[in-house]
Amino acid sequence: MKRTRIIDVLNSSKVGDKLVVKGWVRAFRSNRFVQLNDGSTIKNLQAVVDFEQIDSELLKRITTASSVSLSGTLVESQGAGQAVELQVESLEILGDANPDDVQKTVMQPKKHSLDFLREQAHLRFRTNTFGAVFRIRHGVSFAIHKFFNDRGFFNLHTPILTGSDAEGAGEMFHVTNFDLGNIPKNEAGEVDFEQDFFGKQVNLTVSGQLEAELGALALGQVYTFGPTFRAENSNTSRHLAEFWMVEPEVAFNDLEDNMNLTEDFLKYICRYILDNFKDDLQFLNDRDAEEQKSKPEAERNALSLIERLEFVVNNNFERITYTRAIEILRNSKPYKKKKFKYPVEWGTDLQSEHERFLVEKEFNKPVIITDYPAAFKAFYMRQNDDGKTVAAMDVLFPGIGEIVGGSQREERMDILLEKCKAFNIPEDHIWWYLETRKFGTVPHAGFGLGFERMVMFVTGMSNIRDVIPFPRTPQNAEF
């Protein structure tokens, strides 16, 4: 008989149905009640074995983490906690799990620290928390593709190996097939990249944006969704060395259109998860509520996870300019009481303490900050008429900080060339990018969403390492 997934058993099977289910045992109580999970849902199926009918040697092998195939009839459950259960008629052990060994793992059914769970990233999928997180991660990914597809965007695969170093200099991982013990040098004693695989220095991409722009300037609206790499040595709860980025790019859009698109997009994702992942979300909501309790009063979130998502869906994001943000900060209590570590002055970048104040204290909702000083934003951002600021936007989320960075792009060749000079970007490195401004240039805009930061927001997980299956961070690439 064909296997029925537990989610389908719970949603659509009827009392009296003959079924085969397969999965991993989460618990086995009283030599009688098996809690079976097959990953299709956070819910377990209760299966009841009649120990008088089943061989006792076989019963002994039903242990936590073992895998089994159970055949039987779906009946109304006598006990509380579930409407139906499977009355087992025959069972097969698919894979044993030694209880002494299971004791040492995160599969032992009790509360484990997230640190311990990270050490067993290969097994943490088996826990309720990580099952929920990774089902929802899939949901966010699917919602992203659906959002863009429904709006006529084309998904563009931009390269992971890139010869362009216009962005993120110093933060890039180099890619080579040189024998690292014997790297060829030229006469000047420098590494001779001409002898390397690509005949030039190549890195792992930090963003697909420049290439996405090329696509948008022909296909109209495109988005990338791929891995990006940053060798930044920042061991924070919001940075990974390998993370996924979503980068839409739209011809004919200005900054205002860009903000509207971002806001619609982020709201859509929250709505999608609220509507389609109720069980997982409820579990994470309760988990988050427990975690909030253990925090000091001042750091606690007044809203539950589900309320936070609904809040995003139902409220407009606050939109302010950088200049206004500086004003607000300079008039704030923590500024006057000298509580900020970093200076607040027009012309210096906002630090996370400032962003947190604006998002969590001043506005208490997502905030879009626009029109930053040109000096600390990328060369491709469009210069405003004031000559000092650029049409940039950062979207800040409560509890997360920056979740999106974007801008209207500089479409005017003369200004773009000046910017390249000012930023020391040799024209011959990005000649191909500059050429789009030569042949029918148009205003256009786009942004980058850090995928894992969005998954953090919708799952309520507070460390980015807990929303990607196998996190890569400084000194850590075990799995």
From 57, 44, 58, 45, select the one nearest 87 (Cα to Cα). Answer: 45
Contact map string, positions 92 to 111, toward ligand ATP, x by CB under 6 A: --------------------
Which residues are registered as beta bridge partners of 67?
Answer: 24, 95
Taking the complex as a whole, the smallest distance from the CB of residue 171 to ligand ATP amounts, in Å, to 9
The C-alpha angle with vertex 70 and arms to 69 and 76, in degrees rounded to 5, equals 150
Q: Which of 24, 28, 243, 268 binds ligand ATP (CB under 6 A)?
A: 243
| CA 85 from centre of chain | 36
Measured distance CA(461)–CA(471) in Å, rounded? 14
Measured distance CA(403)–CA(266) in Å, rounded? 10
Q: Which of 124, 135, 239, 267 binds ligand ATP (CB under 6 A)?
A: 239
The SS3 assignment for 36 reads strand
Question: If binding is defined by CB under 6 A, does position 23 make contact with ligand ATP?
Answer: no
Residues 6+ apart with CB under 8 A from 359: 365, 366, 367, 396, 397, 398, 401
Taking the complex as a whole, the smallest distance from the CB of residue 209 to ligand ATP amounts, in Å, to 9
Token look-up 């459950």 returns 77
Residue closer to ligand ATP, measured from CB, 277 or 451? 451
Asked if residues 6 and 19 have their Cβ atoms less than 8 Å apart, the reply is no
Taking the complex as a whole, the smallest distance from the CB of residue 415 to ligand ATP amounts, in Å, to 21
Token look-up 């709006």 returns 151
- In a 13 Å sphere around the CA of 332, the CA atoms on its Cβ side amount to 23
Residue closer to ligand ATP, measured from CB, 105 or 228? 228
Residue closer to ligand ATP, measured from CB, 107 or 350? 350
Question: If binding is defined by CB under 6 A, does position 248 make contact with ligand ATP?
Answer: no
Task: Give the range of 7-15, 116-124, 236-244, 278-286 binding ligand ATP by CB under 6 A.
Answer: 236-244
Taking the complex as a whole, the smallest distance from the CB of residue 288 to ligand ATP amounts, in Å, to 20
The C-alpha angle with vertex 391 and arms to 389 and 396, in degrees rounded to 5, equals 105
Please give the residue whose beta carbon sits closest to ligand ATP in the complex.
Answer: 450
Question: If binding is defined by CB under 6 A, does position 171 make contact with ligand ATP?
Answer: no
- Identify residues 450-469 at the interface with ligand ATP (CB under 6 A): 450, 452-453
Contact map string, positions 391 to 430, toward ligand ATP, x by CB under 6 A: -----------xxxx-------------------------
First vs last C-alpha separation in the chain: 36
Question: If binding is defined by CB under 6 A, does position 245 make contact with ligand ATP?
Answer: yes
Contacting positions for ligand ATP (CB under 6 A): 230, 232, 239-240, 243, 245, 402-405, 448, 450, 452-453
